[in-house]
Amino acid sequence: MNKKMVRISYSMTKTILSIVFMTTILLTAGIAASTDLFEDADAMKSKGTPIGKIGSKDVCGAKLCSEYEGGREEYEALKEKATKAIGEKIADLKKPGITPPDRKFSSESDTQKQQLEKIIEKIERGERLTKSELLMAQKVIEESAAEMTKEKIHREGVASDTEGAPGSTARNAFGQVVSDTITSVQDPGVGHEGHQLAVILPPSDNVYIGKLAFSASENVQYVTIHGPLGPGDDMGQAIWSPDGGKTKFALTFIDNGLKSGGWYFAGNALALHTMHDTPFTASYSVVYSEIAPGVYPKGTVSTGTVHSMQDPGLGHEEHSIALILPPRDIPYQGGVIAYSASEDIQLVALIGPLEEDEIHGQTIWTPDGETKYALILIEGSNMGVWNTFSGNALALHTMNPDGFTASYTLGGLH
């Protein structure tokens, strides 16, 4: 490894440590979700320490200042870094006249801006963050650190071994768990102003895959989005837009009419929703991965929009099909796909190819009369989730020749 790579590696290590320290500040500076983290300060109280001492030079958040190597000075410096990272994100959200693709959906969201401003106020007052607020703060800090690392690499003129890597191995399994109670706010989507929305996983360029369990104060709907959509991809799917239609996302919206339940999901965000303007409260637990789109040793992660074509299967010439995962010898197993289509569709999986002695009355799909697959056809609607699919190919399908468009998010295991 050359000297420049050593310097960059050292710089990245420092950046990672900085994230760890700043996260520690968020967890222990009197704003964490766990009361166990307040043991040291509470211990001082129990020993008769005057209340005026709490929050003074002796106590840094929930810990004694002496527990920091640099004392209160180090504590304040790290707290300032965390506050600065979140403040810069808020400033970016307030920039006028910038439209996608320069700004992500999250930059257009008044809801996120309000949430971050609330986090800043809590940090400044030394109040506890909820787990959802803590998750959002950590995400902003990590994004800030990643941007600093990219700028460092650019200045040094050396490519990092990790630059452009599609997510770390540790994040490629359902290993992240968040439990919290959240209160809804006005839905910022155009046409949804009279609705309520409670964001559980904020919008991301990466893909969320996992399972949600919840209990709400009233019947709620599940919401996830796919996108943003590119030019020409808005072709009849249900659409959600925060900025008057400039930025459009395909919407998967499922109303099971339940106050409590569970849901497997895949998408670029996750929320609960109601169709009226009265706030609701929901307690939830979500286990998930956040993964950059790509092909991994254990799966394929993607989000996109497909336009159907004439079904090439013999006897299906009057049908339309949109291929998601192409046929291959090794079956795809255990994946989740969420979709939003311009009309009601069917979900298709193929199994095979089959030998002649394996065909005994199953429904068959073949493109040439020689290569034959068993056909699994599941009736769907214009939006929904299929968990878990398995087969040698995956597609969406309709029984008419007019064609359709569908946006989807996929987390498939190999």
Which single residue is written with the structure tokens 């020749």? 401
Q: pTM of the entire structure?
A: 0.58
Mean pLDDT of the chain: 74
Q: Which two tokens stand for residue 297?
A: 């040793």
| Domain residue limits, the chain | 3-156, 174-296, 299-413
The CB density around residue 242, as the number of other CB atoms within 10 Å, is: 23
The three-class DSSP label of residue 238 is coil
The model's pLDDT over 81-129, given as tens digits with 9 standing for 90+, comes to 777 777 777 777 666 544 433 334 343 456 667 777 777 777 766 666 6
Contacting residues for 197 by C-beta, under 8 A, at least 6 apart: 111, 184, 185, 186, 187, 188, 189, 223, 271, 272, 273
272 has pLDDT over 90: yes
pLDDT, greater one: 74 or 15: 74
Query: What is the distance between the alpha carbons of residues 126 and 63, in angstroms, rounded to a whole number?
Result: 13
Angle between the 131-156 and 110-125 helix axes, to the nearest 10 degrees? Answer: 100
CATH placement of domain 174-296: 2.60.120
pLDDT at 60: 67
What is the mean pLDDT of the segment spanning 55-82?
67
Q: Which of 28-42, 43-57, 212-226, 323-337 has the lowest mean pLDDT?
A: 28-42
E-strand stretches of 14-81: 59-60, 63-64
pLDDT at residue number 1 = 44
- Best CATH choice for the domain 299-413 from the list 1.10.357, 2.60.120, 2.30.42, 3.40.50: 2.60.120
pLDDT given for residue 70 in this prediction: 74
Per the CB < 8 A criterion, the answer to whether 28 and 61 are in contact is: yes
Cα-trace Rg, the chain: 25
- For the chain, what's the residue count? 414
Specify the DSSP class assigned to residue 329: S
What whole-number distance in Å separates Cα of residue 176 and Cα of residue 69? 30
Q: Is 299-413 the same fold as 174-296?
A: yes
Q: For 307-327, what is the mean pLDDT?
A: 93
